[in-house]
Structure 1
């Protein structure tokens, strides 16, 4: 397997799941998609199976059992090895200690906010705040339901973090919108006054 297979963010997610209990890849995929909208969008079946194969080759996970339910294909259950636990702890420690400069799409887009003009920027940012508010409300409900259902807070701490980021982004956008409306954020001469509405 190429080394890059062990450098993707799915590795940490799989090692973390296997720390909780042994599992087969189909179960892992379902659990990751259930726990996180980010994982639901980012992880394909092929990516997960390739990652698990690379982890097994590295000695970080090992086959524990094979299961068959009815006429379904046999499924291999994997467990975390001692080397896998050591690697998980090493990666977690490094990633939690070291702030990285992420470059999300929004940061790239907001770099050129001026191209939209004040009216276009106001419309686009207002729509983003509206959509963030809807998503945040849904995420808050899911988090509250998980906690009420007995899921330990430590197992959903990433959901709290994601909500904090969404709230901070919404607050920042609100401040920028206020500055556009008041004229505190002005467009230089020659910049467009407005841009066509997005679709």
Structure 2
């Protein structure tokens, strides 16, 4: 019998994922097919926290959940097999337990991803302070635009606050990054943060 993984599930080969958790949460409501899942993710604004631009990523996630016994395809007419997005899936008892375990793990755990922006910051000295100022300023402008868009969308929301917590969190994270970027730009411009880039870097 397989032992429990770090999330407490009985499926050690499958790590908790944001998209996997959202799929399990939706199947807790009712069985559904992939097309409906993708539509609900977009309609509910969950596409801001998980990537479902390509339906293949949703298919792959469901396949992994099925391989680990967390979801199962329920009986459908034979014609459904010719249309993968029309195959209806239901959550299993194991999936119900895993959904709660994953929620607990992702809420209480510390980030273990490797985001691209910190990776770029770690080698910022490969360009000059002037170039870094331009690049960070561009990111700052993009962050400001995203903050305004998120706030506008949140202000128009008509659902209970509990369904908007991820939006509130993202806005707070954007606020924090905007403030930090402003500090970095100030320090570069006033000379408090300086370095010499390699000659061939630019």
Structure 1 and Structure 2 fold alike (TM over 0.5): yes
Of 97, 107, 125, the match for 1:114 = 125
CA distance in 2, matches of 1:18, 1:121: 46
1:143 — aligned with what?
Answer: 154
Relative to its length, the structure with more helix (as a share) is 1
Instruction: Tell which deviates more after alignment, 99-108 or 128-137.
Output: 99-108
Q: How does 1:95-106 map to 2 (within 5 A)?
A: 95-106=106-117
Is structure 2 residue 39 aligned with structure 1 residue 30? yes
CA contact (8 A) 1:5 1:54 kept: no
Matched residue SS, 2:111: coil
1:53 — aligned with what?
Answer: 63
Shift of 1:102: 3.1
Normalised by the length of structure 2, the TM-score is 0.76
2:197 — aligned with what?
Answer: 191
1:123 — aligned with what?
Answer: 134
The aligned length equals: 184
Shift of 1:32: 2.2
Shift of 1:142: 2.1
CA contact (8 A) 1:29 1:45 kept: yes
Normalised by the length of structure 1, the TM-score is 0.77
Unpaired segments of 5 or more residues in structure 2?
1-10
Shift of 1:131: 0.6
Change (3 A) 1:143 1:4: farther
CA contact (8 A) 2:126 2:198 kept: yes
CA contact (8 A) 2:16 2:102 kept: no
- What do residues 143-184 of structure 1 show as CA deviations (whole Å, max 9, x unaligned)? 2223x2xx2222221222222211111111100001111111
